[in-house]
Structure 1
Amino acid sequence: MAKSKFEKSLYDGIEKVREVTEYDQEMISRYVKFKQNLDEFDKDIAENGVMITVINSTQEYRKVNPAVTEKEKINTAMNAILRTLGLDAKSLAEQGNNSSQGGGLL
């Protein structure tokens, strides 16, 4: 299966300093899935807003969209994966900006 530009930038970031291990591959796969989840949460927040209305029989109230909370949790997990891989978002963004192909994360 072909790697996306996003996934390739993760591999490239690791390969600059060491060989990519099987563990790294698993972590990258998890990171990419988290990114897909974030994209879905962004869509939900765009459609429904940060606050949602909940109707429970005779009660109606507003609460934070659960996608907001889940997005925060996943973002924390993604940052932990980057640290585990020895990467950070800033260096990956710079890598993408320096690439003539635009193959980075942004």
Structure 2
Amino acid sequence: MSRIRIRRRHAMDHEHALRVADELAREMTAHYDFEWHWEGERLKLRRTGLRGEVGVYPNEIGVDLELGMMLRPLKGRIEQEMVRELEAILERHS
């Protein structure tokens, strides 16, 4: 498996940060057809060839993904799009 790990700091209250993670999942679902659901403070993502989560922490939002063999060639593109979406969402909410 190939891994993507993204961390971005934030200064939002916890509820606001949860909404940002939710918005990120919705945006990325439009691109990659994820299935997602909340498990406590973690938003679990899944689709064929990909699984992972978005974690909401007091000062940070983290994205951790594992890509299967078929998506490995797209790792750079997926990571760039996740970073771009997360940063755009954080900018809108700052």
TM tier relative to shorter chain: 0.3 to 0.5
Q: Which has the higher contact order (CA 8 A, sep 6+)?
A: 2
TM-score (structure 1 length as normaliser):
0.32
Q: More helix per residue: 1 or 2?
A: 1
TM-score (structure 2 length as normaliser):
0.34
Q: More strand per residue: 1 or 2?
A: 2
